Each structure stands twice: as structure tokens, then as C-alpha cells.
């Protein structure tokens, strides 16, 4: 049951992301990305991390995507650009990358037993927060400093001159 759900959700995630990067219109790309975030959140839920799933929906699919949408609407970027189709010789880095990835997957598939996911136990919000603010408390502080200075830098660079 879980395995079937997982495969459906991963297919949705992959297709959603693929559509997001190929969509010509920015607004459509965002809607595709939100879809893929939602199914990613459900995958986290299946892995026994309901809190991460909730964060994925609230922060990524909710706050950040709304912000993107807001900027696109405000700056009126909704019109698709006329793109010329890439020439054949521009394709080789992508092809090379694809070959490397496909090769790795092939080697993994041939040489190994299929990996089984270890059993996950759901953790509570209390355990999660204790791990976050005790074990990773220093990391949280560093990230908050970094975000503060992201704000400072953005304000400075956006200042009217």
C-alpha cells in the first residue's frame, strides 16, 4: 500500500518539476511547482515525518510560492519570452549529464540488491523541536544571522540612488 502510494507520489513530483522547468509562462511554472511540493510533502509524511510535511506545505508551497507569484504579478513578468530553440551543439552538456546519471542508475540497478527502506517511527513535535533547538541550536542561530544579512543586503542593493 505504502509502496504504491510512494510510486504514485514520486511520479507526480517528477512530472510536476519537469513541467515547471519547461513551462514558458512563469505563473504556470509556479502552479506546477506547488503541485510537486504537495506530493513531496506527502512523501515526507509517508517517511514518518509529519512535521516536515507540514512545513513543506506551509513554507514552500505556501509562503515562498505566494511571494514568487506576488513578485511576478507586481513586476508584470507574466508574458512568456520568445525563446529560440537551442542549437544541437548547445545540447551536449545536458546529454553528457543525462548519460552520467543514466549510467549510474544502471550500475546501481545491476550490481545491487534493491534497497529496502529502514523502518521509520513517527516522531512527535516535541522530539522534533528538542532536536532542532538543542542538537542543532547553533545551526539555527547561524542561519538566522545569515537571513538577517540577506535582508540587509537586499535592502541596501534595492535602495533608490
Partner 1 sequence: MSVTDALAIMPILIAAGAALLVLLAGPFLQARSISWIAVVAAAAAGVWAVVYPAVGATVTLPGLAFTGLSQFLIPVFSAAATLTLLLSHDYNQRRGIKGEEFQATVLFTLFALCVLACATNLLILFLAIESVSFAFYILVSLDLEREESGEAGLKYLLMGAVAAAIVAFGISLIFAGTGTLALTGAFAPEATRPIVSAGWGLVVIGIAFKLSLVPAHLWTPDVYQGAPAPVAAFLSTGSKVAAAAFFLLLLAFSRPLAEIHLPLYLLSLGSMVIGNLAALLQKNIKRMLAYSSIAHMGYLALALLTGSREGYSAVLLYGAIYTAMNLAAFGAIASLSGAEERGELTAYTGLGHTAPFRGAILALAMLALAGIPPTAGFLGKFYIFYAAIRGGETTLAIIGIVTAAISAYFYLKVVVQLYMREPEGAAPAAPHQGTPAESLALTCAAVAILFIGIYPSPILRVLDAALR
Q: Does 103 bind partner 1 (CB under 8 A)?
A: no
Nearer to partner 1, 58 or 143 (CB): 143
Q: Taking contact as CB under 8 A, which single stretch among the options 11-19, 45-53, 118-126, 129-137 is the one that binds partner 1?
A: 129-137
Distance between alpha carbon 118 and the CA centroid of its chain, in Å? 23
Biggest CA–CA distance in the chain, Å, is 62
Which is it for the CA torsion 136, 50, 5, 16, positive or negative? Answer: negative
Q: Does 142 bind partner 1 (CB under 8 A)?
A: yes
> Using an 8 Å Cβ cutoff, are 12 and 39 in contact?
yes
Question: What is the size of the binding site for partner 1 (CB under 8 A)?
Answer: 19
> Using an 8 Å Cβ cutoff, are 17 and 39 in contact?
no
Q: Does 134 bind partner 1 (CB under 8 A)?
A: yes
Q: Does 157 bind partner 1 (CB under 8 A)?
A: yes
Smallest separation, CB 108 to partner 1 (Å): 9
Amino acid at each position: 500500500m505504502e509502496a504504491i502510494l510512494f510510486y504514485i507520489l514520486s511520479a507526480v513530483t517528477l512530472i510536476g518539476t519537469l513541467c515547471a522547468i519547461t513551462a514558458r509562462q512563469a505563473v504556470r511554472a509556479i502552479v506546477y511547482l506547488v503541485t510537486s511540493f504537495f506530493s513531496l510533502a506527502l512523501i515526507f509524511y509517508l517517511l514518518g515525518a509529519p512535521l516536515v510535511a507540514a512545513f513543506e506545505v506551509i513554507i514552500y508551497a505556501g509562503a515562498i510560492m505566494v511571494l514568487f507569484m506576488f513578485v511576478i504579478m507586481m513586476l508584470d513578468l507574466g508574458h512568456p519570452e520568445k525563446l529560440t530553440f537551442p542549437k544541437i551543439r548547445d545540447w551536449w552538456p545536458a546529454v553528457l549529464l543525462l548519460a552520467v546519471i543514466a549510467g549510474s542508475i544502471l550500475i546501481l540497478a545491476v550490481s545491487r540488491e534493491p534497497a529496502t527502506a529502514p523502518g521509520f517511527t513517527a516522531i512527535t513535535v516535541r522530539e522534533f523541536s528538542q532536536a532542532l533547538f538543542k542538537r542543532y541550536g547553533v545551526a539555527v542561530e547561524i542561519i538566522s544571522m545569515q537571513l538577517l544579512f540577506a535582508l540587509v543586503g537586499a535592502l541596501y542593493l534595492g535602495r533608490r540612488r
